[in-house]
Structure 1
Amino acid sequence: MKKYLSLMLLLASIHAHATPIRIASDIWCPYICENHQGYIVELTQRAFEIQNQKVEFITIPYKRALVELQRNNIDAVLALTPSAIAANKFVSADVVFGYNSNDFYTLVDSQESFNHISDLNFTQQAAVVSGYDYGIELDAWLNAHPNSYFASGSDPLAMNIIRLVKGRHSVIIDNKSVIEYTASQLNLSQQLRYAGTIGKPVPLYVGFSQQNQANAVMLANGIKLLKDNGEYQSIMNKYKLLPEVGYDKAHYKRLHKFLPALN
């Protein structure tokens, strides 16, 4: 009986590791890029692989990813803030994968600056990505102003940048590294200007459903193993600087279809 029980436990363990963990996110490069690139993607993948656990990444819009995780159709979502995890009753591995900030970009000839919520009262229109968590104060301001623009779709940030260049918005809000990367892919970096940051940076986690707490523990263990063997720092070093324009050719090719809209 004891041997039979041990065999069953072994088979269950093998089956669990044979079934890929399904992790979803939208593209948020250089954190989360296409073709399984981006440092959060690589760290997560290697943290599981080093423990012989397969991972499957799925690219879907952020808002949909949260819904699919709530429905247990996937196992985890990358780059969630503490408030997003709490609001959706997810769990995390308690491992910080970086920090997000609300950074403001205008056209290069603008004189606007943004350091406080009240600064937004003097701008024409602010554009953000639908479903993202911008913090209590900024979320409240955006929802209280009907003129706020919430972009959605497969490349919402790219569209916000293009709309900014076309004069549809006066300012766009997102993470500085992501805005600058996406603008470089569109060859529009020279037309944008950093105009300030509101609020403090917030940590980013990988969020799991309540049924996947064991996977959250496994992720934390895997990150520790990567730090111990030096692989963690090696991956981080790859993303120390923003990629050049040609870094993610697949993403650039897909974004390039939007460029005629500028004419």
Structure 2
Amino acid sequence: MKKNVVIVAICCAIFSIYIYKAYYLNESGAIDNGAIILSQSESSKAFSPEHGELPPEKVAEKSNNIMDTISQSASSADSKKNDDEKWHLICEKEFPPYNFIDASGNKTGLDTELITAVLNHLNIEFEISTAPWKRVVYSVDNNEVDFGYQFAGKPERFEKYWMVGPLRKEITLFAVNSASPIEDYSTLDGLKNYTIGHVLGYSYTPEFDKATFLKKETARDNNLLIKLLVNSRVDMIIGDLNTLSYSAKLKGEYEKIRFLPTILKEVPRYVAFPKDRKEKAELFAKGLDEIQNNGVYQTIMDRWK
């Protein structure tokens, strides 16, 4: 009797082991060609109440959430891709009227509008950072941005960057009070009897900077330079056409000044791309050419005169 009980017990034990192995070998996760396959039993276990997760009736909902997560991951990847495609630009923070931040905190200015027009024409998303000029140059030198603006057309820069443009020309000339009898001049020597206002520390032309025979009056900035002129404290002032015009308009005194016809200097200004970004430089050049031909360029230039 005891022998039979032992035999039955052994058989039950063997049968239990057999069932256990069969269940878990057929239902548990296995590795197939390097891919981990999650079995139904493992899914049920993972979301069972005893594991503090979702009950079985919520498995389908959870599966949908997993798919949502995957979709969100894909969207994140797309966002990263779009961010990579966005062009990153840099310019000097305050260089009115070419680029500056207005009273509303918006980046604006003649050059900024021209840049924006080109990139919008090309359907290119972009963002503009502003910084001191040395940081602008550093960022382009170290390929941290797609391009920087606006760079004077110096020979060494054409070797160092892809210089696209000119975007515009910077014109240096003299301005007088609108009531002044001075119409023009032929040489700097002919101006030695006049007092000429200029911004302290600015370099204009080598000839003017070295002309010690001229009577010069300094001002802290272009706004004060305009004030000196309209108050007849100087006979004329020197500066960039657009910069002086903008300063005079801000003060409501544009009608009180007049520019002399003779130009001292024209400096082409360019957009500078790092050497690693040739394709973008070529694309921007194409866009700039197209807005110059379709009238958009001139419309912007006229608005900032």
Normalising by the residue count of structure 2, what TM-score does the alignment of the two structures yield?
A: 0.55
Amino acid in structure 2 at the alignment position of 1:124: T
Amino acid in structure 2 at the alignment position of 1:22: I
Amino acid in structure 2 at the alignment position of 1:225: G
Give aligned pairs, total: 218
Amino acid in structure 2 at the alignment position of 1:163: L
Q: Please state how far the C-alpha of 1:105 moved relative to its aligned partner.
A: 0.8
Amino acid in structure 2 at the alignment position of 1:218: K
The answer (yes or no) to whether the contact 1:43–1:232 under 8 Å persists in 2 is: no
Q: In structure 2, how many angstroms separate the alpha carbons of the residues matched to 1:147 and 1:116?
A: 16
Q: In structure 1, how many angstroms separate the alpha carbons of the residues matched to 2:200 and 2:157?
A: 18
Q: Please state how far the C-alpha of 1:104 moved relative to its aligned partner.
A: 0.9
Residue 150 (structure 2) pairs with residue 79 (structure 1): yes
The answer (yes or no) to whether the contact 2:86–2:126 under 8 Å persists in 1 is: yes
Match of 1:107 in 2: 177
Q: In structure 2, how many angstroms separate the alpha carbons of the residues matched to 1:128 and 1:216?
A: 38
Match of 1:56 in 2: 128
Amino acid in structure 2 at the alignment position of 1:105: A
Residue 85 (structure 2) pairs with residue 17 (structure 1): yes
The answer (yes or no) to whether the contact 1:108–1:193 under 8 Å persists in 2 is: yes
Normalising by the residue count of structure 1, what TM-score does the alignment of the two structures yield?
A: 0.62
Of 26, 37, 53 in structure 1, the residue corresponding to residue 94 of structure 2 is 26
Match of 2:302 in 1: 241
Structure 2 unpaired stretches of 5+: 1-77
The answer (yes or no) to whether the contact 2:205–2:265 under 8 Å persists in 1 is: no
The answer (yes or no) to whether the contact 1:105–1:171 under 8 Å persists in 2 is: yes
Structure 1 unpaired stretches of 5+: 1-9, 245-263
What is the identity percentage for the equivalent residue pairs of Structure 1 and Structure 2? 14
The answer (yes or no) to whether the contact 2:229–2:237 under 8 Å persists in 1 is: yes
Match of 2:280 in 1: 218
Q: Provide the aligned C-alpha RMSD in A.
A: 4.0
Match of 2:30 in 1: none
Q: Please state how far the C-alpha of 1:51 moved relative to its aligned partner.
A: 6.4
Match of 2:29 in 1: none
SS of 2:271's equivalent in the other structure is strand
The answer (yes or no) to whether the contact 2:150–2:269 under 8 Å persists in 1 is: yes
Q: Please state how far the C-alpha of 1:77 moved relative to its aligned partner.
A: 4.7
Q: Please state how far the C-alpha of 1:96 moved relative to its aligned partner.
A: 1.0
- CA radius of gyration, larger in: 2
Cα–Cα, structure 1 residues 233 and 41, in superposed 2: closer, same or farther, change >3 Å? farther
Match of 2:218 in 1: 149
Q: Which has the higher strand share?
A: 2
Amino acid in structure 1 at the alignment position of 2:193: F
Structure with more contact order per residue of length (Cα contacts < 8 Å, sep ≥ 6) = 1
Q: In structure 2, how many angstroms separate the alpha carbons of the residues matched to 1:145 and 1:57?
A: 41
Amino acid in structure 1 at the alignment position of 2:283: N
